[in-house]
Amino acid sequence: MAAPRVLVLRAPGTNCDVETAWIFDRCGGQADRVHLYRLLESPELLRDYQILCIPGGFSYGDDVGAGVIFGAQLRSHLADVIGEFLTEDKLALGICNGFQVLMKSRILPGGGEAWPPKAEEPADATLTWNVNGRYTCRWVKMTVPENPSVFLRGITEIELPMAHAEGRIAVASDEVLARWRTRRQIALAYDPNDNPNGSVAHIAGLCDPTGRVLGLMPHPERFIQATQHPQWTRRRETHDPAGEGAGVKLFRNAVEYFG
């Protein structure tokens, strides 16, 4: 079977597209780094891909809010082709700024069932400023609640680096959170005693109800080799320094979904 094609969609300010494409390739995919302007010129290009990934960075400098401009372009100019993609048996991943884009465009939390969003209906959740009011960069431990995410299959807990200023999930009401729990959309959760941004219910990632769309704030593409962990020298007895980092499994799961 041919390798699944991965569109790593970048924009001005994106800075994690190279390593994201690299790990998709290493896991058996065929990744192309495509600029958003190219997709705006030829929206039909998206039909050639099985996986869409919006990587981390600072798209448009986060000038009017993280992911706002990128998300608005997906919603306003690519609504039809995005809607087609979301209703097919394909996968979408948003990492850090990519998660912000998925939320601001309102691809998440509903995925294809709620796309395109009605302009007159306000969003019931968003990603906003960390409670400490500043950019925070460090490693975090997370658990994986029961959920249908393709990307998280076989993972019950994971440790990854995070680096963001606007990573706090905020909801309009308790009913929103209850709905996510009922539909098993909470994909990743920070340790309750170590929530780095104050996100409601300690949420670090969300998936859509089908499990085919995932957004997360920490960076799996930054832990693809064991030596990238800051404590790798202390873990030699239990972790092979020449081995893989924990982030690899998310990308391999996505590629193997099409195997």
pLDDT value, residue 201:
98
pLDDT in tens, 196-228: 999 999 999 999 999 999 999 999 999 999 999
φ, ψ of residue 257 to 5 degrees: the values are -60, -30
pLDDT in tens, 19-65: 999 999 999 999 999 999 999 999 999 999 999 999 999 999 999 99
Q: Which of 53, 166, 221, 229 is catalytic?
A: 221
Say whether pLDDT at 259 is over 80. Answer: yes
Q: Which of 164, 202, 207, 219 is catalytic?
A: 219
Looking up residue 194, the CATH number of its domain turns out to be 3.40.50.880
Q: Compute the distance between CA of residue 205 and CA of residue 64 in angstroms, rounded to an integer.
A: 23
Q: Compute the distance between CA of residue 92 and CA of residue 151 in angstroms, rounded to an integer.
A: 10
> What mean pLDDT is reported for the chain?
96
Q: Which amino acid makes up residue 120?
A: E
Which residue segment(s) compose the domain that 213 sits in? Answer: 5-256
In what helix (H) or strand (E) does residue 6 lie, and over which residues does it extend?
A: strand 5-10
Q: Which of 27, 53, 96, 207 is catalytic?
A: 96
Judge whether 256 counts as a catalytic residue.
no
- The structural domain count of the chain equals 1
pTM of the model: 0.96
How distant is the alpha carbon of residue 4 from its chain centre? 18
pLDDT value, residue 214:
98
Judge whether 35 counts as a catalytic residue.
no
Q: Is the alpha carbon torsion for 115, 16, 7, 22 positive or negative?
A: negative
Instruction: Say if strands 136-143 and 186-190 run parallel, antiparallel, or are unpaired.
Output: antiparallel
Hey, is 232 helix, strand or coil? helix
pLDDT in tens, 136-168: 999 999 999 999 999 999 999 999 999 999 999
